Amino acid sequence: MASRLAAPLGGIAAGAMTLGVAEIGAVLLTRTQGTAGTPSPLLAVGGAFVDRTPSWLKDFAIETFGTNDKIALFVGMGLTLLVACAVLGEIASRFRTLGLILFAIVGAIGSAAVLTRPGSVALDMVPTIVGTLVGLMVLAAMGRASENARVAAYDPQAPSRRGVVAAGAGLSIVGGAALVWGRMQDQAQQAVRVAREAIGGPTAANPVTVPADADLDIDGLASFISPNDNFYRIDTALSVPQVDPATWTLRVHGMVENEVEISFDELLDQEMIQSLTTLTCVSNTVGGELIGNAVFTGWPIRELLARAGVQDGADMVLSTSIDGWTAGTPLEALTDDRNSLLAVWMNGEPLPAQHGFPVRMVVPGLYGYVSATKWVVDMKVTTFADDEGYWTPRGWTALGPIKTASRIDVPRSGANVAAGTTPIAGVAWDQHTGIDKVEVKVDDGEWQEADLASEPSIDSWRQWTLPWEATSGDHTITVRATNADGETQTSETAPPAPSGATGWHSVNVSVS
């Protein structure tokens, strides 16, 4: 048994040592050189994969794993690497030169992935190259050892066989520990933590007050304000960018009269306002939970664009995150009277790093893929004819207006409900238009108008409830909403791609 394990374990050990050494090298490079790239081959390969993920696979991942899509990706990458390294170990034990060449090719692919990441320079490849060289030495040594073990396989007590397995396991553990240590030693996280604490709470010209009757306080109903820790997160960053506000700047250029660059301290000197806004991911399915409501505090983007002076003919702003992700936002949505912000605070505290610290964009009425750029560092005033955001060439529509939608939170689908009076409750939204009516029907009965909570902002969702006299049996409950323009959400079912899901949300419950 040990002789059969020796060769694949040697490949796994070589892979683990490669990633461990490369990760430590990436940490050291970041600390000494302050690179803006992604010297970690693990993150670089993952990022390159995400960039090239077809829309159907991205939709499947979000629908299946939700906000755990990145964990699923890392697990998938880990299993793939484990199998690939085991195969390379087996090849190297039998055809040493071929195995080493194939391993070197894998290392070269990792180096190329590093070089393709935004902000990367040639120096960023060094950790991967060094890690690959170490891995090649381990693979060669383990290949020789496993060959000796195979020759000695007739002797069940052969020390060489036990030794190669122990060495392979030990090196795998060392490499894995180095990889974990490297991921944990990101000094930027500490710098961001200190910076967030130093900023303190927001001061705004128009503080938002949420009236008590905006939240119905029904058990199981989503709270009117979504806590930061539970707010959904969907983006392409495998590792949360750690941006030091002391070095952050935002550049505005393109079709403008004056190119503008603003620092974080300059941004904080501006008059801040607050916006109660519901953010929605375009990948949210009917009845899905990729949506959240928060009070954001920041500087109106229209003020910054006015300072730059937008030229005639422009109709879009291409914003760029520090990790290279882009969004194409209609210029009108950034210059009209809505509270489109360069947000610094979220629910009274500095933005969490995973939600865009130090600065993100918040634009009411548009899906996040065309507006909600986190860690924003660049804004190019341009046209839809000349530029496009990250998701547009991947099959998503360019404008991304949010559609009228509603969701049943209580009771949950599949719930068992006691007979008698029980609440049906949920949320409805049509950001920057508002919700005027929510209707509910049970089975094939008549539509009944629900009671609405107050609406402190047309940019936020609205809670609703309807008392139900539940009778024994299985029932289907359906909801639909009508916006402030009198338009009722469509019953036509459509998937998220290419412009957002549609359809009425229904839940099936049993009453006893």
Given 154, 185, 216, the domain boundary residue is 185
Of all residues in the chain, the percent with pLDDT exceeding 90 is 57
Decide if 190 is inside a domain.
no
- pLDDT recorded at residue 2: 45
- pLDDT recorded at residue 1: 46
Is 81 strand, coil or helix? helix
Per-residue b or e along 434-461, where b marks 16 or more CB atoms closer than 10 Å to that residue's CB: bbbbbbbbbeeeeeeebebbebbbbbbb
Is 307 strand, coil or helix? helix
Would you tell me how many other CB atoms lie within 10 Å of the CB of residue 92? 28
* Least confident interval from 65-74, 142-151, 156-165: 156-165
- pLDDT recorded at residue 314: 98
**Nearest-angstrom CA–CA distance, 117 and 289:** 31
**Nearest-angstrom CA–CA distance, 264 and 359:** 8
**Nearest-angstrom CA–CA distance, 466 and 479:** 11
* Least confident interval from 72-81, 267-276, 302-311, 390-399: 72-81
Would you tell me how many other CB atoms lie within 10 Å of the CB of residue 307? 14
Give the DSSP H or E segment for 335.
helix 331-335
- pLDDT digit string, tens, across residues 459-480: 999 999 999 999 999 999 999 9
Residue 157 pLDDT more than 80?
no
On whether the CB atoms of residues 119 and 35 are closer than 8 A, the answer is yes
Which among 149, 148, 108 has a CA at the least distance from the CA of 131?
A: 108
- pLDDT recorded at residue 205: 85
* 444 and 389 assigned to the same domain: no
Whole-prediction pTM value? 0.76
**Nearest-angstrom CA–CA distance, 66 and 24:** 31
- pLDDT recorded at residue 441: 98
Decide if 331 is inside a domain.
yes
**Nearest-angstrom CA–CA distance, 379 and 250:** 7
* 151 and 14 assigned to the same domain: yes
Give me the domain span that covers residue 502. 405-511
- pLDDT recorded at residue 159: 44
- pLDDT digit string, tens, across residues 309-318: 999 999 999 9
pLDDT band at 186 (very low <50, low <70, confident <90, very high): low
pLDDT band at 156 (very low <50, low <70, confident <90, very high): low
On whether the CB atoms of residues 5 and 142 are closer than 8 A, the answer is no
- pLDDT digit string, tens, across residues 324-364: 999 999 999 999 999 999 999 999 999 999 999 999 999 99
On whether the CB atoms of residues 367 and 391 are closer than 8 A, the answer is no
- pLDDT digit string, tens, across residues 395-414: 999 999 999 999 999 999 99
Decide if 466 is inside a domain.
yes
Given 152, 185, 218, the domain boundary residue is 185
**Nearest-angstrom CA–CA distance, 190 and 193:** 5
Is 396 strand, coil or helix? coil
* 300 and 420 assigned to the same domain: no
Q: What is the CATH number of the domain that holds 420?
A: 2.60.40.650
* 499 and 385 assigned to the same domain: no
Decide if 192 is inside a domain.
no
Residue 299 pLDDT more than 90?
yes
Tokens describing residue 81: 């690497």
Decide if 486 is inside a domain.
yes
**How many distinct structural domains can be found in the chain?**
3
On whether the CB atoms of residues 116 and 59 are closer than 8 A, the answer is no
**Which of residues 134 and 359 earns the better pLDDT score?**
359
* 366 and 256 assigned to the same domain: yes
pLDDT band at 136 (very low <50, low <70, confident <90, very high): confident
* Least confident interval from 51-55, 122-126, 394-398: 51-55
- pLDDT digit string, tens, across residues 482-497: 999 999 999 999 999 9
Of all residues in the chain, the percent with pLDDT exceeding 70 is 86
Decide if 400 is inside a domain.
no
* Least confident interval from 147-151, 194-198, 227-231, 252-256: 147-151
Which among 281, 287, 285, 295 has a CA at the least distance from the CA of 428?
A: 287
- pLDDT recorded at residue 443: 97
- pLDDT digit string, tens, across residues 243-282: 989 999 999 999 999 999 999 999 999 999 999 999 999 9
* 18 and 118 assigned to the same domain: yes
How large is the average pLDDT for residues 159-171?
Answer: 54
DSSP track, 31-62 = HHH--SS---HHHHHHHHHHHT--HHHHHHHH
Sole residue written with tokens 């629900």: 450
* 29 and 174 assigned to the same domain: yes
On whether the CB atoms of residues 282 and 62 are closer than 8 A, the answer is no
> In three state form, how does the secondary structure of 155-207 look?
CCCCHHHHHHHHHHHHHHHHHHHHHHHHHHCCHHHHHHHHHHHHHCCCCCCCC
**Nearest-angstrom CA–CA distance, 373 and 366:** 12
**Which of residues 183 and 344 earns the better pLDDT score?**
344
Q: What contacts 168, CB < 8 A, 6 or more positions away?
A: 5, 6, 9, 10, 12, 13, 142
* 210 and 153 assigned to the same domain: no
pLDDT band at 177 (very low <50, low <70, confident <90, very high): low
How large is the average pLDDT for residues 490-510?
Answer: 96
- With 0-12 / 13-18 / 19 or more C-beta atoms within 10 angstroms meaning exposed / middle / buried, residue 197 is exposed
* 100 and 14 assigned to the same domain: yes
Which among 41, 63, 423, 417 has a CA at the least distance from the CA of 238?
A: 41
* 22 and 98 assigned to the same domain: yes
pLDDT band at 147 (very low <50, low <70, confident <90, very high): low
The average confidence (pLDDT) of the chain is: 87
* 127 and 244 assigned to the same domain: no
DSSP track, 100-168 = HHHHHHHHHHHHHHHHHSTT--GGGGHHHHHHHHHHHHHHHHHHHHHHHHHHTTT-TT-HHHHHHHHHH
* 174 and 242 assigned to the same domain: no
**Which of residues 122 and 268 earns the better pLDDT score?**
268
Residue 368 pLDDT more than 70?
yes
Q: How far is CA 278 from CA 263, 281, 290, 333, 387, in A?
A: 27, 10, 11, 15, 27
